[in-house]
Amino acid sequence: MHTVVYVEIALYLIAMMAIGIYFSKMDLSHNDYFLGGNKLPGWALAFSERATGESAYMFLGAIGFIYAAGLSGIWILSGMFLGVMVSWLFLSKRFMTEQQKYKVNSLTDYIAVKFPKHADMIRWLASSVLVLFFVCYLAAQFSGIGKTIYSFSGFNITWGTIVIAVIIIAYSCMGGFMSVVWTDTIQSFLMLASFIIVPIAAFMEIKNQGLSISTELANMGNGADSWVGGLNGIALGAMLFTNLSWFFGWLGGQPQLSSRFMAIATEKERITGRNMAIIWTLIVYIGAFLSAIFATTLYKQATIDDPEVILPHMVFDILPPWVAGIIVAGILAAIMSTASSQLLVITTSISEDIIHKTLRWNISSRKLVHLSRLIAVISGIVGIIISLKSGSVIYSLVSFAWAGIGNTFSVIILLIFFWKRISGMGVIATIIVGFVSAIVWPLSSLESILSAKAATFFICLIAGIVFSLIYPDTVKETQSKLVKS
């Protein structure tokens, strides 16, 4: 491996650490640590939200999936893009105004303050579920780190995972939300550059070799050259719905993304962020899809043992070392931005939602920040252990967490925003049902018919509506909620 690649990656990692160290020297309040004190510009929050939303899943899992599936893989990206559009166009403003009204620092805390009678129970349940699923989500990112490092250097996966994970834990716990957002901003530019450079270089390589994209897709078989995977009837409907079901997880239920909306200070900043986010997503998704399809043309199936590392394999095969180093830094950026944000969610759930708000520990703002840093370190270590012990692939881990978190809490947020009859018991039932569904459904034969990513959303929606109707809030609680709304 060329020395310049290692130098570029080292410089990138040093820059991330420098940002963490810079913010660690600032006198941060717990509001600064958890939500940036509403001091960050909209464009930075937009880039942070997008970098956080696109993780190891995009660079490794999704591209590996499309590489194996062919043209029909576009429906996964379509579902995700639709979800991003809806979240920025219709939910971001509500999140911003609600945070300013209730002065909350987390998604869990916002849900809890809407239902005062059940606030403690909601905080306990929501925080417990978030911590459980986000530790798995975090482990998926750490697994992506190990795979990426190994794919281009042959460096031991275990040590590669540990080294980069420690850096993530360090800068995340030092500067909290502030350092996470600014590191995300740099990382988002690296990701954008990656998905502009790679498809262009891959297309040029295809032309140089005189290959035909359509021919190679047809030779793959299994409907790879068909936008619908060669399916029809019920099978086609099931495939489309399963892939598009990623949409449901974007509807306000991902706390690491919703926190960016909550941190926006003004409507002008929100509009700037919205425009930046949509343009960024469109470019990255098109680039990701083309990269995967061009990979199917350049490399026959089974070229490598693990399809999830086809992108770094292609990068080092067709690009000069100094460019490949930038792209690998982009892959690491995608993983690290998501991992740091997930680590912050875990930290916030434990220190802010449970210790500060539910247990009501009477400690100063500064001590709460110190406690949060300790929790971040412990949570990160647990994530490393699960990553190293887990035999699951990135796609499976992310899908599991997506159903358990995104779908469950998306339902709750949508009902709070758009249905005045949602009750505290309805929220509690939704959290419990979503948790059970995300675990049980994938283990049943029903998973082959309908993915848990879709099923969990509708199961939670039914539970939330039914239990709210059976156990409505009292008239006094309802009037209080309407006044606050």
pLDDT 10s digits, 202-247 = 999 999 999 999 999 999 988 999 999 988 888 888 888 888 888 8
Mean pLDDT of 365-373: 83
| pLDDT for 313 beyond 50 | yes
pLDDT 10s digits, 36-67 = 888 899 999 999 999 888 866 777 778 999 99
Q: What pLDDT does residue 477 have?
A: 57
pTM here?
0.86
Q: What pLDDT does residue 138 have?
A: 83
Q: What pLDDT does residue 413 have?
A: 96
Q: What DSSP designation does 201 have?
A: H
pLDDT 10s digits, 234-288 = 888 888 888 888 888 789 888 889 999 999 999 999 999 999 999 999 999 999 9
Which tokens go with 83?
A: 């979800």
Mean pLDDT of 464-483: 75
Given pLDDT bands bounded at 50, 70 and 90, which one contains residue 398?
low
Q: For residues 352 and 262, what is the distance between their CA atoms, to the nearest angstrom?
A: 16
Q: For residues 396 and 447, what is the distance between their CA atoms, to the nearest angstrom?
A: 13
Average pLDDT, the chain: 87
Residues 355, 349 contacting (CB under 8 angstroms): no
Class level of CATH domain 3-392: mainly alpha
Given pLDDT bands bounded at 50, 70 and 90, which one contains residue 149?
confident
Q: For residues 284 and 63, what is the distance between their CA atoms, to the nearest angstrom?
A: 12
- Residue whose C-alpha is closest to residue 83's, from 285, 333, 334: 285
Residues 322, 8 contacting (CB under 8 angstroms): yes
Q: What pLDDT does residue 482 have?
A: 47
Sign of CA pseudo-dihedral 20, 25, 26, 27: positive
| pLDDT for 478 beyond 70 | no
Domain ranges of the chain: 3-392
| pLDDT for 353 beyond 70 | yes
Q: What DSSP designation does 227 have?
A: T
Q: For residues 20 and 25, what is the distance between their CA atoms, to the nearest angstrom?
A: 9
The number of angstroms, rounded, from the C-alpha of 317 to the middle of its chain's C-alpha atoms is 29
Residues 402, 246 contacting (CB under 8 angstroms): yes
Q: What pLDDT does residue 56 have?
A: 63
Contacts of 159 (CB under 8 A, 6+ apart): none
